[in-house]
Structure 1
């Protein structure tokens, strides 16, 4: 696939509609195109956040490893960013991502991604919009879960991470 083909693929995503074509071309040039087969791990919870992935094609699932087992809590399809929060916050991966179907993605290393955010306000805004959308989705999920709690049950224990053991305070 040529750089121009990848730029056209990126332009189809709502997230990149306002990003300048030269910046999308730069994004395509600094990215590595990677194909993950069904069942293959894109990245694992706890790993260093060394790159961001832009899913061009395919479906993947998001899993959280907890002391009580693995929780598969989301499935997504093309047109999304993966790993941007960990890169931006300099945190290890919070979840594991596994290909459900064949997934084609662009892998952008951490430094290149951060540089592109600094250089392009429209790209920066695209990433912020994507993060905002994810926060809104998570808020909706949380609201649905809270509604399922028994009346009078606390909605959250803010002092404890879901990924940490209950007795690890």
Structure 2
């Protein structure tokens, strides 16, 4: 009990709890930092770095699910653990603890709601748009860029005749690129082939990566799919030291779902738009005659 009251000191990189293990305690950081990480197909991803006074692992007090992430000391760190049996006793003595937990959970829910609302508005504007495919791709990329900090980005669509991915919209250094990729070539081509979003925070170690003359260090890529058919990808990348995280991957994946529908809509609208253009042109010629 004394250790719980005074807190336990963890050495740098020492594991506090691991992803997948059962949990029955929450933690409060007295001093130092704790890094929260999660395993992904591309390796370990950092979700957050927490500091003095912050809590983590609190969901173990309310459900019976296994830990969804790993908590690791980032430098020497002192942490108090509170299990279910002592939680209510502590709350009776200090109600501010319950308030702190509710405040933390509320902040996380608020952030999720803000992202959902923003995505919902974007979805509505996209799904009702009937414009050129390239314009839709640019709108998609603009939204991705505003939601996820990145240095470069592109939307690539598959040319059914050439069976190649080509850039339809881009920003950063990629805006000057005329890169074309075969299905399965590079990280983008592989995402097109597998239909699964990827996060790669050290592209130099990924054998699939095709540099294309850019100094890229980290990359996000999400597929564009319609009725089981993958027809394009959204790419975001960084040349700086900033790494992407799992939340970034989730955001891009969510965006790609609505983006896929919007691109399909635009494909069907394009012949209509072209026909309307011909009608207007013909009308103008008649007026001139």
User: Residues 15 and 72 of structure 2 are in contact (CA less than 8 Å); yes or no, is this contact kept in structure 1?
Assistant: yes
Q: Is the 8 A contact 1:51 1:83 kept in 2?
A: yes
CA 1:88–1:114 in structure 2 vs 1: closer, same or farther (change >3 Å)? farther
Q: Give the drift of 1:59.
A: 1.3
1:130 paired residue number = 104
- The aligned runs of 1:3-152 (5 Å cut-off) are 31=5, 33-117=7-91, 121-138=95-112, 144=147, 145=248, 146=251, 149=255, 152=259
Measured in 2, the distance between the counterparts of 1:30 and 1:100 equals 20
Q: Which residue of 1 aligns with 2:241?
A: none
In the TM superposition, what is the alpha-carbon distance from 1:125 to its structure 2 partner? 2.5
Alpha-carbon contact 1:86-1:94 (below 8 Å) kept: no
* 8 Å Cα contact 2:61-2:83 kept in structure 1: no
Distance 1:79 1:71, change over 3 A: same
Q: Which runs of 5+ in 1 are unaligned?
A: 1-27, 155-169
Deviation of 1:55 (Å): 0.1
Q: Work out which of the two has the higher radius of gyration on C-alpha atoms and give 1 or 2.
A: 2
SS state of the match for residue 38, structure 1? coil
Relative distance call for 1:139 and 1:32 in structure 2 (3 A) is: farther
Higher relative contact order (CA 8 A, sep 6+): 1
How has the CA–CA distance of structure 1 residues 30 and 57 changed in structure 2, closer, same or farther, with 3 Å as cutoff? closer
The gaps in structure 2 that reach 5 residues or longer are 120-146, 148-247, 262-289
Cα displacement (A) at 1:73: 2.0
Contact 1:49/1:110, CA 8 A, preserved across alignment: no
Deviations 1:113-154 (A, max 9, x none): 144447765432332112112333455677634379457148
Question: 1:124 and 1:68 mapped to 2: Cα distance?
Answer: 37
Whole-Å Cα distance in 2 between the matches of residues 55 and 103 of structure 1? 8
Structure 1 residues 58 and 120, CA gap change in structure 2 (3 angstroms): closer
Q: TM-score with structure 2 length normalisation? A: 0.38
Deviation, structure 1 residue 89 = 1.9
Provide the residue aligned with 2:181 in structure 1.
none
Structure that is richer in helix per residue: 2
* 50 and 32 in structure 1: CA distance in 2 versus 1, 3 angstrom threshold: farther
